[in-house]
Structure 1
Amino acid sequence: MSQRKWWRVGLAACAVALVTSGCGAGGSDDSGSASSAGEAAPARDQAAAPGAAEKPGADANQGAPPNAGAPVKFRLEDRAIIYTGSLSVRVEDVNAAATEATSIATAVGGFVGGDKRSSNDRYAEATITLRVPAPRFTAVVDQLAKLGEQQQRDVNTEDVTEEALDLDARITSQRARVDSGRRLLAQAKTLSELVTLEGELAKREADLASLEAKKRRMADLTALSTITVTLLAPGAKAPVEEEEKEEEIGFLAGLKGGWTALVASLSVLLTVLGALLPWFVALAVPVFGALWLARRFRRPRTVTPVPPAPAPPAAPAP
């Protein structure tokens, strides 16, 4: 055979060898994939079976809810909210309006927490504090505003849901501590142990009573809202809310402040002088009288001077 034919035969043999090796590799890969799939299927079935999570090596978070770490969301009806409100209403008859306001509160299951009234020839005014159920808070405020001409309204809310939950948890824990203290007290064998455990138990019971009192107070504030209504006669002045004013600066502001301070200082000085003047008068009369008497008795007597004797005549010169 010629050299060219030998090259052709060699190339053909190489091509056949490459094709054969590629098919063998593909077959081995396919068989490996099939075996892996066959092993994974029973594993999935085993994981899906009941009690698979309890076996060693199972994922600890497999049975956890999807939002286990998310914050707890409360519905509006489950929240603990404290409602407080105040309003001023100008009415024609203060006493009649006060009676009607009391009737509005008692009709929804509330009561009167305070009633303060004042009147004279010029004006009449009544301040009534009402406690009404929280679900009827808004309706009662609207009814009170219709008693006359509304002058001012202020409604505030405070969400104490987190505080209430924390207080419940603390009460539960404190009750467990009290029960534990009582069991230990029942097992005391010596007098010293008895005295020590009684003191500790008394402290725990006092803390529990304090927490329960806070819980009752919070429950009262969330269950019953507070409304303070001020009823004004036609001639009474409406309460004005204090507004923050910007601080005035400059020459005129300084002059005004200095004049105000001067007037205030003079007022204080005159007040002090007016308070001391009766004391000065009461003390001046006896003091001046004593000084006058002392000068009168100590006055020196008048002495008549004696004229000097005449000088002797001078001797004549020799």
Structure 2
Amino acid sequence: MTPTTRHPAPQLRARSTRLVVAGIIALSAVLGGCSASGDDMSAADEGGTSGALGGDARSGTAEQPADGSVEQAASTSDADRQVIQTGDVRMTVKDPLDAADAVVVLAEGAGGRVDDRSEHAATKDDVGTAELTIRLPADEVSRAVDGLRELGTIDELNLTSEDVTGTAQDLDARIRALQLSVARMEDLLTRATTNEQLIAAESALTERQSSLEQLQSERARLAEKVRLSTIHVVLYGPELAPVAPVEPETGPQSFLDGLAAGWAALVDVASGLAIVVGVLLPWLAFGGAVAALVVAAVRWNRRRRATGPIGQPAPAVVTSVPGPAPSVSPDEHEPR
């Protein structure tokens, strides 16, 4: 009889599948608790990270002072605050372009930079302007404002602060949770025995790594805003001088002034008449030509009537000329 051999492969495969499913369920539970309060989540993540990875995950959290004094605890809490500072400054300076160069030197000397800059030169109808957006370290804002006062007159100054400590702690907690999740998924990936397990682990690992990179990028942007304050500076030139009113013209004050005014008027009239003659001359020429044609036509018509038919003289027109009246004797009319 041939001995039968039992293969444990199906049992190992089922056990590995259950292990992967259990790991994914545990990771889902960990990720679902990321939206809890910042302090509780930080404590839970720190404990889990210390237990699983053997490291200290309490970076960025305030430690309780050894002596338990309230003053030291308050100072430590203030040091850990994450604050974003922004400001708007409106100034009047002698030369906006030169003042803009001085603002650039001031920002770079304080360890900052200039993000945006635009300039507009002065004209006879408008004052010159310059606008700059500078980024300064948070602890250099006050000294930078004092430096701006030396460039001109500050007409308007607005500085605002936004406390983003809670947002930063929440991002840190979510990042630590995802780092722990990525480490576990990498461990599961190394222990995968089938293609299905390998594909599932790689898909979950890729998704968590993408989420981790997104959170890290958001945290880096927040840290950049906290580290460098944003100040928008607008520089205006001095106001334009008022335009002197134009005095009305007065009449001539002497004989020579009157003579000059009369001559100028005569020249103006002569120029106007010359312009009128120049405008009417073409019309006069055209009218003369039409009148000449009309006169020629009338003469030709009279001549044709006087001549009669062609080749025959016109009949003589006999007109009776009254003769002298007969003399009448005065005796014929007198009564006898």
Task: Report the TM-score when normalising by structure 1.
Answer: 0.50
Task: Report the TM-score when normalising by structure 2.
Answer: 0.47
